[in-house]
Amino acid sequence: MGPRCRLYRIDLRVVVLVAIAGGACSSNSAPPTSPPGVMANYEGQWSGMTSQGMRISFTVADKKVTSLDLGYNFNGCAGMNTYPDLSLAIGYPPNPASPYMGPGFGFGSGAPDRPNYTQVSGTFSSGTAATGTMIFGDYSGCGNSLGIWSASKK
């Protein structure tokens, strides 16, 4: 009889990984390892660019996004949204409907039917790389826009 598979609980609500790193249940005697991004350390300062050519930056501390700065530039509107004092838990997965299954976070600046609504979601593909989406809704005189972003840890 071959070696037994180990179960790893990543998040109490959602995920149990049965076979980690593609060979944990085979006869290979190498110890199992975590897939990229699952157990990574995301703590620190992150920065990058959006598809609108603007800056995004955020801080991760204690497994939470604690601040977020997001630039926007569409339909004649440009500026920087700053959200200090956040406490956005990094979850796995960030959103069950997300096409990206890595650990991530989500943020909405208020009710989606209110003016100047901003929504940001992000997924960590490793301890040094993250990507995501952004939505800007009902910006006065400029309408709506969406885009993508990528960031790396400094």
Q: Which CATH number among 1.20.120, 2.40.128, 3.30.43, 3.90.1570 corresponds to the domain 44-153?
A: 2.40.128
In a 10 Å sphere around its CB, with 0-12 CB exposed, 13-18 middle and 19+ buried, how is residue 104 labelled?
buried
Helices (H) and strands (E) in the chain, counts: 0, 11
CA gap 128, 44 in Å, rounded: 10
Domain range annotation of the chain = 1-35, 44-153
**Taking 50 as the threshold, does the pLDDT of residue 112 lie above it?**
yes
Residue 99's pLDDT is what? 56
For the chain, the average pLDDT equals: 77
Cα dihedral value 99, 58, 62, 90, nearest 10: -10
CB of 70 closer than 8 Å to CB of 134: yes
pTM: 0.71
Percent of the chain with pLDDT over 90: 61
**Taking 50 as the threshold, does the pLDDT of residue 108 lie above it?**
yes
Please write the tens of the pLDDT for every residue from 53-104: 999 999 999 999 999 999 999 999 999 999 999 999 998 755 555 555 678 9
